[in-house]
Structure 1
Amino acid sequence: MSDDTIRLVTIGRMIRRRWRLLTILAVLGALVGYGTSLLLPPRYTTSASVLLPGAWEERELLTQAEIATSSVVVDRAAATLGWTGVSGSELRDRVSAKAADGNIIKISGTAETPERAQHLSDQVAQQFVTFAARLTGADTGAEASARPEDLRKMVVRTSRRITELADAADPGRTVESVQGRTELEKLRIALQEAMKKLDEANPVTNKSNMVVMGPAARPAGEAPPTRTQLIVAGALLFLLLAVIGHLTAARMSRRLRTEPEIAAALGSVLLGTVDVPGERPAHRPEGGGPRARIRRLLGLDVRWDLPTPHASGDEAGRQIRYRRVCARLRDRLPRPRRLLVVVPEGDEIARRAADQLAAESDGDSAPSSSGRGYPVLRVVGVSVSQPLVPDRGTESGVLVVLSAGSWTAAELTGIAEACADGNHEVVGVVVAGAVRARPKRSGGHPPDDATPALAVRGHATGGAV
């Protein structure tokens, strides 16, 4: 799988074969999320709305939202609330503001109880309106609000005085009188323009008349993340980490999966591949002890990264494969002799294939007329961690049988070195693969390809090839 693309079918196969482990990890993640919810106190959030009259640009609304959460506003709200042990700097983390449609600033407050959240939002909104009014000078009292009207009255009186002076001047008789009337008229026009600008400035000044649109609503539920959300998030997080861990481990796996790689690691030649009908449970070595029982309970003794076995042919077709391997093995030997069939411990598929090869070899172990019968095979299991092959005695050679995708190059090299230490030559390699056996036919008639298989059997028994 190290070079394969990760597909949905791969993830589905992993979930099917590791569902017990994934379920336990998801439950563990849910417990972690529940424990986290106990450490985090519940939070409640509500909002108060402040209306800004007049025409406002978007950047101005963003500025007002920043002012609403400024330290000046929040500190004044904290001083007014007077909560024990809660300072303005702590409240700044609980207050937020954003500009909404319709020139509205929404001020949100978060607290441990619904009542506190409501009071916090209302107080910050009130302090924001007060502070904004002070910035624009809208709260300087009745005297300040009367100043524009007094200015208008003064301008009107000045305009009347200018008219009186213009009428009193000698109308057009001297140059000085004409210049005086001209200057007075310019002064009148300047005063009128000033009053016009003052009237146009009134709407901008009215922007400071912000209004709090009622008290904040009391929150009915907790603010996220709630306890349920933390539990679900913990379960999903552990499940996702388990899936990613499985995929990463499979992608970094160095187990050999192709026949040429396996033969090269053992320093021998490939004699063929054989099929072994898969049985349920597959790849489940028997063993005692608590660790073995826990692995079987969690499904860790089943390889999940191996592809689903493909459908095999009938029993006669599988027998042909075994006989062909025995025939190639016989052709490689100068004379019939005894061989060790080395199988890595824990490789149940290879063990069954080796037993089948030994049975086929025993069926035709007698030398033929040409003196070339099948060799006699004896199956032995070898530990991969500490490989040890029996010394050379009656057997003079080794046939290695193993399944693909189960062992690394270093492990197979260790087996080859153990064979060399026992003064054995690795005469060949056989790769076994699991297949799904077809159901037996209900009728008594043999399949169409059974006749060639029987003919091969009789031909091999006769000894002539």
Structure 2
Amino acid sequence: MSEDAIRLVTIGRIFRRRWRLLAIVALVGALVGYGASLLFPPSYTTSTSVVLAGQWEERELLTQTEIAASSAVVDRAAAALDWKGVSAADLRDQVKATAADGNIIKISGTASTPEHAQELSDQVAKEFVTFASRLAGDGTESDTEAGPEALREKVVQTNRRISDLADAADPGQTVEGVQARTELEKLRTALQEAMKKLDEADPATNKANMVVMGPAALPTGEAPPTRTQLIAAGALLFFVCAVIGHLAAARANRRPRTEPEIAAALGSALLGTVDVPGERLEHRTQGGARGAGLRRILGLDTRWDVPTPQPSGGEAGRQTRYRRVCARLRDRVPGSRRLLVVVPDTDEIAHRAAAQLVTEAQNDPSATSSSRRNPVLRVVEVSMSRPLVPDRDTEAGALVVLSAGIWTSGELGGIAEACADAGHQVVGTVVAGAVRTRQRRTADHAPQHTAPPVAVGNDAGGGAG
């Protein structure tokens, strides 16, 4: 796993073998999300639209959105609402303005209740229209005569003066009188057209024309993040972190996984690999007796990063592997000698393989002389945390049987040291692996040779079995 790419099959293996732990971690994350929702009270958001008449450029609309959410507008709205315990500074963080298509400014207000959110949006929109109209209109009282209203008054006075001049002209039908009145009417028409164009071009007339498109709608749901969203986010976050933690631990795994690496860690020769049939065989991890029940419930007593067993090659192929291991044992330990078979106490696959080796060693159809007989095997369990091997009595050495990929180099070295302390030489290593059988065995198709009771012990006496 440390050198392989992370694939979907790896993620699926985590889900399949650690689903209890992942479910509990997700539940804890949901509880954390619920606790976070208690720290953040629910809020409600609604918005009011303000239409701006005339032609507006994009940068001018952005300016208007800044004005709508400015302190000058929000402070006036806060003074008008006069909510207890809510200051103008608090409302500034609860008001937002955005520009939409069609010269529309959307003013959003957020509050702790739907009614307050509606009141806040409406009041800010009202204050914004008033403030913008004051900026664009006749708010410059220091220069009133120079403004548009003063110019209109001058035009009205000029029209009156033109009327007086027309009345004072020659009332007769002389050519001079008619021409004078015609010129005065042309002047009056020109002034009226000029005022009309001035009104159309005056930004104070057009851009001050803002209309609020009705009151804000009463919110029917909480603004995000809602309590449900916080709970779901907490569960998802913890779930993803748990999966990433599994992957990170697997990437950092430096356990020997190949047969040569395991044999090198034990300082012995590799005698072969054997298969153990059974799809439900699991690699159990070590744990204290006090936490064994909890680890079993959470699935922590089973390794998840061990590959799925491969299909079996058949009963004949499996027995051939065991016979070859026994043959290599005969070559390394000639004569009818005794050997200890050292097996980790939590390795179920290794236990099955050791039992089958004992069976094959007892059933020796190929032996023709006493010098070619298989050695007598006695199985002993050792704790990987504190390995202890029985002292040497009549045994000629020790044979280590274990699974691949679940023990560290330090643990394998501990077994080798325990064998050396007891006076046993590690004559070889057998690596066992689980395989899937093609069909379940029935009572009618049971194997001919069943494993006899195996002597298992962890005592220091180490008598012959």
TM-score (norm 1): 0.82
Q: Aligned in 2, Cα 1:319/1:72: closer, same or farther, shift over 3 Å? A: same
- Which residue does the alignment assign to 1:147? 150
- Which residue does the alignment assign to 1:347? 347
Distance 1:391 1:365 in 2: 32
Distance 1:444 1:97 in 2: 81
- Which residue does the alignment assign to 2:175? none
Q: 1:409 corresponds to which letter in structure 2?
A: S
Alignment of 1:135-174 (within 5 A): 135-139=135-139, 146-153=149-156
Whether 2:94 is the aligned partner of 1:91: answer no
Number of residue-to-residue matches in the alignment: 424
Distance 2:62 2:430 in 1: 75
- Which residue does the alignment assign to 2:14? 14
- 1:115, CA displacement in angstroms? 0.8
- 1:398, CA displacement in angstroms? 1.6
* 355-364 or 317-326: bigger deviation: 355-364
Q: 1:150 corresponds to which letter in structure 2?
A: E
Q: 1:71 corresponds to which letter in structure 2?
A: S
The answer to whether the 8 A contact 1:365-1:376 is kept is no
Q: Aligned in 2, Cα 1:131/1:287: closer, same or farther, shift over 3 Å? A: closer
Q: Aligned in 2, Cα 1:158/1:374: closer, same or farther, shift over 3 Å? A: farther
Distance 1:131 1:297 in 2: 67
The answer to whether the 8 A contact 1:277-1:437 is kept is yes
Distance 1:279 1:192 in 2: 99
Q: Give secondary structure in 1 for the equivalent of 2:432.
A: strand
Q: Could you list the runs of 5+ residues in structure 1 that have no partner in the other structure?
A: 161-190, 454-465
Alignment of 1:190-339 (within 5 A): 198=198, 201-203=201-203, 205-278=205-278, 280=280, 282-283=282-283, 291-339=291-339
Distance 1:446 1:35 in 2: 58
- Which residue does the alignment assign to 2:453? none
Q: What's the CA shift string for 1:227-277, capped at 9, x where partnerless?
A: 222222222222222211222222212222111211111112211110001
Alignment of 1:117-136 (within 5 A): 117-136=117-136
Distance 2:364 2:287 in 1: 35
- 1:399, CA displacement in angstroms? 1.2
Distance 1:258 1:407 in 2: 12
Distance 2:359 2:443 in 1: 27
- 1:55, CA displacement in angstroms? 0.9
Q: 1:256 corresponds to which letter in structure 2?
A: P
- 1:336, CA displacement in angstroms? 4.2
The answer to whether the 8 A contact 1:343-1:381 is kept is yes
The answer to whether the 8 A contact 2:399-2:426 is kept is yes
- 1:371, CA displacement in angstroms? 1.5
The answer to whether the 8 A contact 2:335-2:374 is kept is no
Whether 2:63 is the aligned partner of 1:60: answer no
The answer to whether the 8 A contact 2:345-2:381 is kept is yes
Distance 1:445 1:42 in 2: 67
The answer to whether the 8 A contact 2:349-2:402 is kept is yes
Q: What's the CA shift string for 1:380-434, capped at 9, x where partnerless?
A: 1121111222222211212111101111112111212222222322221111001
Q: 1:146 corresponds to which letter in structure 2?
A: E
Alignment of 1:373-388 (within 5 A): 373-388=373-388
Distance 2:385 2:215 in 1: 74
Q: Aligned in 2, Cα 1:50/1:243: closer, same or farther, shift over 3 Å? A: same
- 1:136, CA displacement in angstroms? 2.3
Q: What's the CA shift string for 1:123-163, capped at 9, x where partnerless?
A: 11111112222222345699866223134457779999xxx
- 1:281, CA displacement in angstroms? 5.7
- 1:39, CA displacement in angstroms? 3.0
- 1:15, CA displacement in angstroms? 1.0
Q: Give secondary structure in 1 for the equivalent of 2:109.
A: strand
* RMSD over aligned Cα atoms: 3.5
The answer to whether the 8 A contact 1:138-1:208 is kept is no
Q: Give secondary structure in 1 for the equivalent of 2:99.
A: strand
Q: Aligned in 2, Cα 1:114/1:287: closer, same or farther, shift over 3 Å? A: closer
Distance 1:346 1:228 in 2: 43
* 239-248 or 364-373: bigger deviation: 364-373
The answer to whether the 8 A contact 1:366-1:374 is kept is no
Q: Give secondary structure in 2 for the equivalent of 1:208.
A: coil
Q: What's the CA shift string for 1:168-219, capped at 9, x where partnerless?
A: xxxxxxxxxxxxxxxxxxxxxxx99998985564146421222211111111
Q: Give secondary structure in 1 for the equivalent of 2:433.
A: strand
Q: Give secondary structure in 1 for the equivalent of 2:263.
A: helix
- 1:321, CA displacement in angstroms? 0.5
Distance 2:263 2:244 in 1: 32
* 424-433 or 273-282: bigger deviation: 273-282
The answer to whether the 8 A contact 1:336-1:367 is kept is no
The answer to whether the 8 A contact 2:283-2:406 is kept is no
- Which residue does the alignment assign to 2:166? none
- Which residue does the alignment assign to 1:461? none
Q: Aligned in 2, Cα 1:212/1:200: closer, same or farther, shift over 3 Å? A: closer
* 192-201 or 361-370: bigger deviation: 192-201
* 32-41 or 56-65: bigger deviation: 32-41
Q: Give secondary structure in 1 for the equivalent of 2:393.
A: coil
Distance 1:341 1:159 in 2: 128
The answer to whether the 8 A contact 1:365-1:374 is kept is no
TM-score (norm 2): 0.82
- 1:109, CA displacement in angstroms? 0.3
Q: What's the CA shift string for 1:82-126, capped at 9, x where partnerless?
A: 111111111111111100010001000011111100110011111
- Which residue does the alignment assign to 2:402? 402
